[in-house]
Amino acid sequence: MVTSRLAGKAAIVTGAASGIGRASAIRFAREGATVVIADINTAGGEHTVQLISHDGGEASFIHCDVSNTKDVQALVDETLATHGRIDILFANAAYLDELFAIADTSEDVWDRHIGVTLTGVYLCCRYVIPHMIEAGAGSILATSSVGGSVAFDRQAAYCTAKAGVEMLMKTIARDYGRAGIRANALAPGAVYTPVMDDVKHRNPDGWDQVLRDMSLLERLWAEPEDIAAAAAYLVSDEAAFVTGTVLTVDGGWTAH
């Protein structure tokens, strides 16, 4: 049941134009938060705002490339100017494309994966944390992946970036816990998002078997709303003693 456990809180959700980010932004708003949607996809981000508004929530959109320092600074400054606080940062934006083994990975492909998926989380945290320290509290959540701990074929850059996200959250938890800031990561398995559709099209014949190998449940994949439910818990005060951890939501795949 949806509650009001985020009432009065201001949240930034990056990569919220679709998928996990959109579902989480909607869930946060339903829980009472005022949500700032950040994405490079303007049309998708504004549609997320519309969905939240139609649901009775409060949200706004800011165009932001999280790999760009000036964009992230502007995101944080505008959020503070509008809402006066940042209680929650959900650094969800990531990049997954052009899958290669490391010897075939160009510097441009490597830089794009690391720039969005890892450096983007670093930049958001760098500019948000000082304001959370001043407030004496804050919750940071980042989207990792089971690929942060289990290697995927031909996804060297992506897996490396996601592993870095997990360690970044752990170090933030250690460095800033006494300042009232919690930092955690979510590690989804197979989630039915536009990215999954794209991966499925690259392997149409073997995809069902891949999913069966990944899930221990009757369901073969999670919906974005499943991940959003976990995210809402981790950023809420119900998880007040949870920090420096990685919550895996993968249907049991990593239990193999």
pLDDT at 221: 80
> In this structure, which amino acid lies at residue 55?
D
> Using CB atoms within 10 A of its CB, is residue 149 exposed (0-12), middle (13-18) or buried (19+)?
middle
- More reliable by pLDDT, 192 or 22: 22
In the predicted structure, residue 69 carries a pLDDT above the cut 90:
yes
Which is it for the CA torsion 46, 52, 54, 56, positive or negative?
negative
Average pLDDT over residues 64-75: 98
Report DSSP letters for the chain, one per residue.
----TTTT-EEEEESTTSHHHHHHHHHHHHTT-EEEEEES-HHHHHHHHHHHHHTT-EEEEEE--TT-HHHHHHHHHHHHHHHS---EEEE------S---GGG--HHHHHHHHIIIIIHHHHHHHHHHHHHHHHT-EEEEEE--GGGTS--TT-HHHHHHHHHHHHHHHHHHHHHGGGTEEEEEEEE-SB-SHHHHHHHHHSTTTHHHHHHHH-SSSS-SB-HHHHHHHHHHHHSGGGTT--S-EEEESTTGGG-
pLDDT at 204: 62
pLDDT at 119: 98
In the predicted structure, residue 113 carries a pLDDT above the cut 90:
yes
The chain-wide mean pLDDT, for the chain, equals 92
Split at pLDDT 50, 70, 90, the class of 53 is: very high
In the predicted structure, residue 7 carries a pLDDT above the cut 80:
yes
Catalytic residue flag (residue 158): yes
Selected catalytic residue, list 158, 176, 192, 233: 158
pLDDT at 105: 87
Question: What would the two tokens of residue 250 be?
Answer: 């993968």
pLDDT at 61: 98
pLDDT at 106: 92
In the predicted structure, residue 25 carries a pLDDT above the cut 60:
yes
Question: What would the two tokens of residue 85 be?
Answer: 């606080």
- More reliable by pLDDT, 163 or 219: 163
In the predicted structure, residue 213 carries a pLDDT above the cut 80:
no
Split at pLDDT 50, 70, 90, the class of 198 is: low
Percent of the chain with pLDDT over 70: 93
